[in-house]
Amino acid sequence: MNNIAVIGGGTMGNGIAHVFAQNGYQVALIDVKPEIIEKALATIGKNLDRQVAKGTLTEDQKASTLANIKTHTSIANGVEHADLVIEAATENLEIKLNIFKQLDSLTHPGCILASNTSSISITKIGSVTSRPDKVIGMHFMNPVPVMKLVEIIGGYKTSAETLASITELSKAIGKVPAATKDYPGFISNRVLIPMINEAILSLEEGVAGVSEIDTIMKLGMAHPMGPLQLADFIGLDVCLAILHVLHDGFKNPKYAPSNLLVNMVTAGDLGVKSGRGFYDYSHGTKDLVVSPNFSL
Ligand code: NAI
pLDDT digits (tens, 9 = 90+) for 158-172: 999 999 999 999 999
Query: Is residue 116 packed enough to be buried (19+ CB in 10 Å), middle (13-18) or exposed (0-12)?
Result: buried
Quote the ligand 1 centre to 157 CA distance (angstroms): 24
C-alpha atoms less than 13 angstroms from C-alpha of 233 in its C-beta half-sphere: 15
- Beta-carbon contacts of 16 under 8 Å, excluding residues fewer than 6 positions away, are 6, 86, 88, 116, 140, 144
Q: Which candidate in 18, 151, 197, 291 is catalytic?
A: 151
Which CATH number does 3-181 carry?
A: 3.40.50.720
C-alpha pair distances (Å), 24 with each of 36, 168, 291: 23, 15, 45
Q: Enumerate the CATH 1.10.1040.10 domain ranges in the chain, comma separated.
A: 189-294
Residue 12 alpha carbon to ligand 1 centre in Å: 6
Predicted local confidence at residue 203, as pLDDT: 98
247: annotated active-site residue: no
Residues 6 or more apart whose CB falls under 8 angstroms from that of 135 comprise 100, 112, 113, 114, 115, 122, 125, 126, 129, 155, 157, 158, 162
Assess whether the C-beta atom of 7 lies below 6 angstroms from ligand 1: yes
Give the Cβ contact number of residue 239 at 10 Å.
27
Predicted confidence (pLDDT) per residue in 169-185, tens digit: 999 999 999 999 999 99
CATH for the stretch 189-294: 1.10.1040.10
> pTM score, two decimals?
0.93
**What pLDDT, on a 0 to 100 scale, did the predictor assign at position 295?**
81
CATH 3.40.50.720 location in the chain: 3-181
